[in-house]
């Protein structure tokens, strides 16, 4: 009886380890331990006892696996294995709200989307619809969620005339 229990515990431990350390070998060895425990139960208690043991083994396995999936991500080791936050490919909108009214420079040609450097950081931006060449000075005119809308800065023509 001790060997049957040892095989079940070892099998469950290896199957749970396979969930978090994929590769196939641990799961196969764990499944082998569980099958061996069932075979030993059939030999020891006959068809009725072996069937009852196998059903109980499956039920226990399901409970253990579900609990492991819920518990392990909350452990220090699990936090390193499991991604804690969803990734949607963009920074949260609150990170862009402070860009309103800021100035920067187009890093790429904006037609109408591209990249700009604003406050020393690279941002994905869009124009109001027109083409803007790389190197053009920009101003953020709107922030709509993760969308940063820019327009080229037009310098006063009189200032340009004085500079010549």
pLDDT per residue as tens digits for the range 145-161: 888 999 999 865 444 44
Q: Which residue, of 23, 55, 81, is where some domain finishes? A: 81
Token readout for 124 is 């994905």
CATH code of 114's domain? 2.40.50.140
Q: Using 50, 70 and 90 to split pLDDT, how confident is the model at 29? A: very high
Pair 100, 75 in one domain: no
CA 108 centroid distance within chain = 29
Pair 105, 52 in one domain: no
Is residue 41 domain-resident?
yes
Pair 77, 118 in one domain: no
Q: Which residue, of 58, 81, 104, is where some domain finishes? A: 81
* Strand, coil or helix: 125: strand
Q: What pLDDT does residue 128 have?
A: 86
Q: Nearest CA to 61 among 41, 91, 37, 85?
A: 37
Token readout for 157 is 């023509």
Q: How would you class 51 by CB atoms within 10 Å of its CB: exposed for 0-12, middle for 13-18, buried for 19 or more?
A: middle
Is residue 100 domain-resident?
yes
Q: What angle do CA 82, 121, 98 make, to 5 degrees?
A: 90
Read off the pLDDT of each residue in 29-48 and give the average, rounded to a whole number: 92
Token readout for 73 is 């991500």
Give how many domains the chain has, as a whole number: 2
Is residue 88 domain-resident?
no
103: domain range?
A: 93-163
Q: Which of the pair, 4 or 89, is modelled with greater confidence?
A: 4
Determine the Cα–Cα distance for residues 101 and 69; give it in Å rounded to an integer.
Answer: 47
Q: What pLDDT does residue 82 have?
A: 64
């Amino acid at each position: 009886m001790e060997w049957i229990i040892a095989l079940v515990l070892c099998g469950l431990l290896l199957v749970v380890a396979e969930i978090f350390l994929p590769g196939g070998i641990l799961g196969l060895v764990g499944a082998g331990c569980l099958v061996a425990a069932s075979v030993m139960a059939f030999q020891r208690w006959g068809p009725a006892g072996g069937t009852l043991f196998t059903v109980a083994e499956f039920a226990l396995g399901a409970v253990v696996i579900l609990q492991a999936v819920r518990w392990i991500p909350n452990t220090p080791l699990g936090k390193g294995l499991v991604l804690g936050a969803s990734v949607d490919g963009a920074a949260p909108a609150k990170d862009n709200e402070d860009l309103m009214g800021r100035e920067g420079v187009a890093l790429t040609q904006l037609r109408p989307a591209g990249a700009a450097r604003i406050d020393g950081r690279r941002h994905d931006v869009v124009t109001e619809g027109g083409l803007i060449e790389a190197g053009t000075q920009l101003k953020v005119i709107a922030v709509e969620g993760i969308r940063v809308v820019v327009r080229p800065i037009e310098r006063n023509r009189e200032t340009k005339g004085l500079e010549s």
